[in-house]
Chains A and B, each alone.
Chain A
Amino acid sequence: MTVGVVVFPGSNCDRDLAWALEGILEIPCKFLWHANKDLEGAKAIVLPGGFSYGDYLRCGALARFAPLLEEVRKFAEAGGPVLGICNGFQILTEMGLLPGALTRNRDLHFICEPCNLVIGQSKSQFIADYQPNKIINLPIAHGEGRYFCNSDTHELLEQNNQVLLRYQANPNGSVGNIAGISNKAGNVVGMMPHPERACDPQLGGTDGQQLLRALVG
């Protein structure tokens, strides 16, 4: 079970992910260059954090047109597990694989801090190993992480239990304290917090391990 980590020009969490996956969790992974058109047999895909294509125009707006992402779209639509972290979440919303958008933080600051998060009720495989309502701690690091959607979409997200993670104390003004959501089927997940930065016990926490393990079921 190999996990594919997509690399865009400007990605900067791709190597952290590889370290967390291979170095700590012993899950094989390979880097997939954005300009290729081949998922190289990966059984799960991660879109890492960073500033793909410089985040010009809007975060994730240009990455959406990367040739590899057409393959990622097919893979996701066929039910394959896809996780977008931070910039990866922004890209998934720009692609339309997840509803809503990530906008400028309420207080304009880039926020880089550990955050308490409440696990949602979702049936998604990504949080199957966590108890609902359990509180975990993961770091966030973003300037544009304020989740926004209209009230109809928000209602649907809640009805379908698509909210996977909520901020305990809302740092950025996100609608409904939302920090991470899935699509309706649960196989496509986006989140602003960084589970890959909470895998190594020497770095202050391991609450992200189960989220990454869930990539390979």
Chain B
Amino acid sequence: MQLRPSVLDPAGEATRAAAQRLGVAGLRQLRIGKMVEMELEAATIEAARSEVELLSDRLLANPVTENWTLALEQCE
């Protein structure tokens, strides 16, 4: 989950300022997001995708302030 580009990210800005003090001069943008790892049982990859999409839209991200992307991997 990542803050939408139009939403100020004060924590990202503060971190970017610290990175410059560390001597990394070329850092033009730093934005902090969140990553969620989950294991989900589903019959098909499509079913898994739609469950995770529901979770992302309704619980994990706030659509007013955040965008999200997802990546699926098959596991045992």
How many A-B pairs have beta carbons closer than 8 Å: the answer is: 36
Contacts of B6 on A, CB cut-off 8 Å?
Answer: 150
B8 within 8 A of A: yes
Contacts of A148 on B, CB cut-off 8 Å?
Answer: 7-8, 64-65
User: A103-B7, A107-B10 given as contacts; is B64 within 8 A of A61 (CB)?
Assistant: no
Minimum distance in angstroms from A150 CB to a CB of chain B = 7
A104 interface neighbour in B11, B59, B64, Cβ under 8 Å: B11
For the complex of A and B, list the 3 residue pairs with the smallest distance between their C-beta atoms, beginning with the closest.
A101-B64, A101-B65, A108-B10
B14 x A108 contact (CB < 8 A): yes
Contacts of A107 on B, CB cut-off 8 Å?
Answer: 10
The CA of A106 and the CA of B8, in the complex, are separated in Å by 8
Contacts of B59 on A, CB cut-off 8 Å?
Answer: 57, 61, 65
Chain B contact residues: helix, strand, loop or mixed: loop
Contacts of A146 on B, CB cut-off 8 Å?
Answer: 8
Contacts of B65 on A, CB cut-off 8 Å?
Answer: 101, 103, 148
- B contact set with A: CB distance below 8 Å: 6-11, 14, 59-60, 62, 64-65
Q: Size band of the A side of the interface? A: 20 to 34
The CA of A94 and the CA of B9, in the complex, are separated in Å by 19
Contacts of B60 on A, CB cut-off 8 Å?
Answer: 57
Minimum distance in angstroms from B13 CB to a CB of chain A = 9
Report A97-112 CB contacts with B as 1/0, cut-off 8 Å: 0011101111110000
The CA of A143 and the CA of B62, in the complex, are separated in Å by 18
A106 interface neighbour in B10, B62, B64, Cβ under 8 Å: B10
Contacts of A150 on B, CB cut-off 8 Å?
Answer: 6, 64
Within 8 A of B (CB), among A167-204: 173
Taking CB as reference atom, which chain B residue is nearest A100?
Answer: B64
The CA of A93 and the CA of B8, in the complex, are separated in Å by 18
Q: A57-B59, A57-B60, A103-B7 are in contact. List 11 more A-B contacts (CB 8 A).
A: A61-B62, A93-B64, A94-B62, A104-B10, A106-B8, A107-B10, A108-B10, A108-B11, A108-B14, A148-B8, A148-B65
Contacts of B64 on A, CB cut-off 8 Å?
Answer: 93, 99-101, 148-150
Q: Which of B8, B9, B10, B14 has most A Cβ within 10 Å?
A: B10
Taking CB as reference atom, which chain B residue is nearest A104?
Answer: B10
List 26 A-B pairs, Cβ < 8 Å.
A57-B59, A57-B60, A58-B62, A61-B59, A99-B64, A101-B62, A101-B64, A101-B65, A103-B7, A103-B8, A103-B65, A104-B9, A104-B10, A104-B11, A105-B10, A106-B10, A107-B10, A108-B10, A108-B14, A146-B8, A148-B8, A148-B64, A148-B65, A149-B64, A173-B8, A173-B10
